[in-house]
Amino acid sequence: MASRLHAHIGTFRQLEILLAVYETGSIKAASEKLFLTQPTISMQLKKLTEAIGLPIYQQIGRKLKFTDAGIVTAQTAKQILQSCENLDMQLSNLKGLSSGTLRIASATTAKYFIPHLLGPFCQRYPGIDIQFTVANRQTVIERFEQSLDDFYVFSYVPEHLDLQATEFMPNDLVAIAKAGHPLTQEQSVSLERFCQEDFLIREQGSGTRYSTESFFRQQGCQPNIKMTIASNEAIIHSVLSGLGVSILSAHTLAFGEIYGVEVLTVEGLPIQSNWSFSWAKNQQLSPIAKVFLDYVEHEGKEMMHKALAL
């Protein structure tokens, strides 16, 4: 049955030619559109006429007049060719999703929650590879400038970059001290008092440092910087060892039991910002990246609420 139908409607190429003649109204225009000679077009239409068993058009003067059989075949050709295009698109999406790579560069502080987002995504699309780069904010900016990744995760979207962003969830920076520190006994600590403590700060280029410094600048005070440490974990251990107090994202305390660190109630804190997934404005997102963005926007927030038990 299928082969009889095929014999009736001709080859895809013939249908393409028929449609071009039908839509442009002449063999000459169709030949220009398809980059074929006029005799080739006439010959293919002749073969198609034989396959259908009915004339496709009549020549009236210089004009072509399509017969009913020609019109219905041209309309069907349009549907068939459109379905093929859709099929092509769906197949390349599936190919993209079954074998491509999703590249995400994230500021170090986002490493506490992004894996909880990637886990369920990878289970849904087991064939894809993920390249997850974790670096401080400045390094993520440099990766953006070199177009190395599909998405870049920041808490403050850098204003000087030409990017689009979708906000994802809040990032609260809180003051921390070792359990038993005198400030943990106070219901509310003034900023002035907090600034007298030895302060541990992240390295230059860190987003946490950027937010902390802007906060102190806005408040008109200076923390008493004792040490610069290029790692959230090392800051937490330094706080635990009694080296000083600090301000870090609450995410650094959210997973794993970190005994012995307490959040202080300090005037003006927490510092509030929002995590965003960003991508280059001039960049065409890959099929995987599009699906991932949709996932982040529609399911990601709920997933984070569950994972972080917010």
CB of 203 to ligand PGA, least distance (A): 8
Is position 137 an interface residue for ligand PGA (rule: CB under 6 A)? yes
Q: Which amino acid is at 133?
A: T
Residue 202 binds ligand PGA (CB under 6 A) = yes
**CB 206 to ligand PGA: min, Å:** 4
Among the listed residues 10, 70, 96, 207, the single contact to ligand PGA using CB under 6 A: 207
Per-residue interface string for the shown chain with ligand PGA, residues 150-189, x marking contact by CB under 6 A: ----xx----------------------------------
Q: Which of residues 14 and 238 has its CB atom nearest to ligand PGA in the complex?
A: 238
Q: Which residues contact 70 (CB under 8 A, 6 or more apart)?
A: 18, 22, 55, 56, 57
Our CB check for ligand PGA shows the closer of 44 and 109 to be 109
The interface mask with ligand PGA, positions 234-263, x = CB under 6 A, is ------------------------------
Site for ligand PGA in 92-111 (CB under 6 A): 107-109
**Do 248 and 208 contact (CB within 8 A), yes or no?**
yes
| Residue 134 Cβ vs ligand PGA, minimum distance, rounded to whole Å | 8
State the minimum distance, in angstroms, from the CB of residue 176 to ligand PGA. 15
162 contact partners, CB below 8 Å, separation of at least 6 = 280, 281, 282
Comparison of 73 and 108: residue with beta carbon closer to ligand PGA: 108
Contact between 236 and 262 (Cβ < 8 Å): no
Kindly state the tokens that stand for 71.
């019109």
CB of 186 to ligand PGA, least distance (A): 27
State the sign of the Cα–Cα–Cα–Cα dihedral 114, 119, 120, 121. Answer: positive
Nearest residue to 18 (alpha-carbon basis) of 1, 2, 33, 7: 33
**Residue 149, phi then psi, degrees to nearest 5:** -135, 170
Place of tokens 């990601």: 300
Residue 212 touches ligand PGA, criterion: CB under 6 A? no
Q: State which of residues 31, 206, 246, 252 lies at the interface with ligand PGA (CB under 6 A).
A: 206
Report the residue closest to ligand PGA, judged by CB. Answer: 207
Count residues near ligand PGA (CB under 6 A): 11
106's enclosing H/E stretch is strand 101-107
Helix intervals (H) in the chain = 2-9, 12-24, 27-34, 38-52, 68-99, 114-124, 137-145, 191-194, 207-219, 232-240, 251-254, 287-295, 301-308
Provide, rounded to whole angstroms, the least separation between the CB of residue 211 and ligand PGA.
6
Q: How far is the CB of 116 from ligand PGA (least distance, A)?
A: 17
Residues engaged in binding ligand PGA (CB under 6 A): 107-109, 136-137, 154-155, 202, 206-208
